[in-house]
């Protein structure tokens, strides 16, 4: 089974190289790694919160087992497979699983891997956050009543066209003097592993293209990237929905132990019901900074987002402030504390519903 899987993946790379046998060489070598994180979680808000106000809970996003198999053919083709198990998640489900080939031509991958934008770019204010990763980490979201708002845009700061770990095919170029580009195609956003999904209620035929650059200038490290996504929203709606057309971009600069990063997302009318006037799928912006000193690090971030999907009553808004600190206690073990403040306005009704909430996470993580 292993040889069959890897052989299938290598066909594209072998064709690109047009030389040698992709099946020659030694068998792939398998490595295993993982992490486990647990937290004290405190939460309080104006609306009824998720959880119990205080609990001890695992952080499934920072707890997973990873199997990585890599082999090299006699012609130099690098091929492999990767499986990531989020065993702490409620459904005990797998996260990413994919096969890929790599060489002088770049990288080709097939399966449940990130979009090209996430692989080449995805820079945002949460890129530099320590501990629970700011709004890229999901345990704060699970500890607050998010007031019916769209978490993809207004918490994760991700564009409407992002398909995350759904099954896709993608290509990433080699690095050319700091420049890199990528493209990925997702037939169905509900498609993961063997799950077929249905067109009704999903994003289909989504293409993601991205370009990024990273390098150094006068002692400072700089990274810039911009991604664009387009596709179809097949959610069952009278009159249908607007096509997906979204972009997200970001940049980061680092100097000494300091780093500053920002990200912007614009969805336009992606997925809006065609019969709804003035529908706006929203935009979001965040900025973050961090300072890392030896075994420790501190970070701060501000994020704001707005959206008006019903075209009436005004715009939904979310403001999030985050501050965190982490410390490496020993090799492979870290401790952290993170604070979040949420100001969440839901205007998709005649009266505005507001939730102001606070979340504190105190945790430790062991990686191996």
Give the model's pLDDT for residue 50.
60
List residues bridging with 322 in a β-sheet.
Answer: 301, 340
What integer pLDDT is reported at residue 89 of this predicted model? 85
Per-residue pLDDT of the chain (368 residues; tens, 9 = 90+): 333 333 334 434 444 444 444 456 788 999 999 999 999 999 999 987 665 689 999 999 999 999 999 999 999 999 999 999 999 987 888 899 999 999 999 999 999 999 999 999 999 999 999 999 999 999 999 889 999 999 999 999 999 999 999 999 999 999 999 999 999 999 999 998 988 777 777 899 999 999 999 999 999 999 999 999 999 999 989 999 999 999 999 999 999 999 999 999 999 999 999 999 999 999 999 999 999 999 999 999 999 999 999 888 889 999 999 999 999 999 999 999 999 999 999 987 667 899 999 999 999 999 99
Give the per-residue pLDDT at 6.
34
Pairing type for strands 64-72 and 29-45 reads antiparallel
Enter the pTM of the model: 0.90
Q: Residue 116: enclosing H or E segment and its boundaries?
A: helix 116-120
Location of structure tokens 């040889």:
3
**Domain containing 264: what range?**
2-367
**Total residue length of the chain:** 368
Instruction: State the number of CA atoms in the 13 A half-sphere of 29 facing the CB.
Output: 6
- Residue 168: per-residue pLDDT: 98
Residue 109 has a pLDDT of: 98
- Which element (helix H / strand E) includes 13? helix 2-17
Cα 233–239–240 angle (5° rounding)? 5
Angle CA 51–53–55, to nearest 5: 70
- CATH code of residue 296: 2.40.160.10
Domain count, the chain: 1
């Amino acid at each position: 089974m292993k040889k069959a899987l890897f052989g299938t993946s290598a066909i594209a790379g072998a064709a690109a190289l047009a030389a040698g046998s992709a099946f020659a060489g030694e068998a792939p070598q398998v490595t295993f790694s993982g992490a486990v994180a647990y937290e004290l979680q405190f939460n309080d808000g104006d609306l009824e919160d998720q959880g119990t106000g205080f609990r001890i809970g695992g952080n499934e996003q920072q707890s997973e087992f990873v199997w990585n198999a890599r082999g090299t053919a006699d012609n130099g083709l690098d091929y492999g497979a990767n499986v990531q198990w989020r065993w702490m998640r409620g459904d005990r489900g797998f996260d990413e699983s994919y096969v890929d080939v790599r060489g002088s031509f770049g990288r080709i991958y097939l399966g449940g891997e990130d979009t090209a934008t996430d692989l080449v770019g995805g820079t945002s204010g949460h890129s530099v956050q320590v501990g629970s990763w700011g709004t890229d980490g999901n345990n704060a979201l699970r500890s607050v009543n998010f007031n019916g708002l769209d978490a993809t845009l207004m918490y994760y700061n991700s564009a409407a066209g992002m398909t995350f770990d759904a099954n896709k095919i993608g290509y990433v170029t080699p690095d050319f003097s700091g420049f890199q580009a990528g493209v990925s195609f997702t037939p169905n956003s509900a498609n993961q592993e063997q799950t077929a999904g249905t067109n009704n209620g999903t994003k289909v035929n989504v293409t993601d293209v991205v370009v990024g650059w990273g390098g150094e200038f006068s002692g400072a490290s700089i990274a810039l990237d911009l991604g664009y996504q387009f596709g179809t929203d097949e959610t069952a709606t009278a009159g249908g929905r607007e096509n997906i057309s979204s972009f997200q971009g970001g940049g980061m600069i680092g100097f000494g132990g300091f780093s500053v990063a920002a990200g912007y997302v614009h969805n336009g009318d992606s997925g809006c019901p065609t019969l709804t006037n003035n529908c706006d799928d929203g935009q979001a912006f965040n900025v973050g900074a961090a300072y890392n000193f030896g075994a420790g690090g501190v970070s701060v971030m501000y994020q704001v987002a707005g959206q008006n999907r019903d075209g009436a009553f005004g715009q939904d808004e979310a403001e999030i402030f985050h501050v965190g600190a982490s410390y490496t206690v020993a090799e492979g073990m870290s401790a952290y504390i993170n604070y979040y403040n949420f100001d969440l306005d839901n205007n998709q009704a005649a009266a505005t519903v507001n939730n102001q909430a606070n979340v504190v996470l105190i945790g430790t993580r062991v990686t191996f």
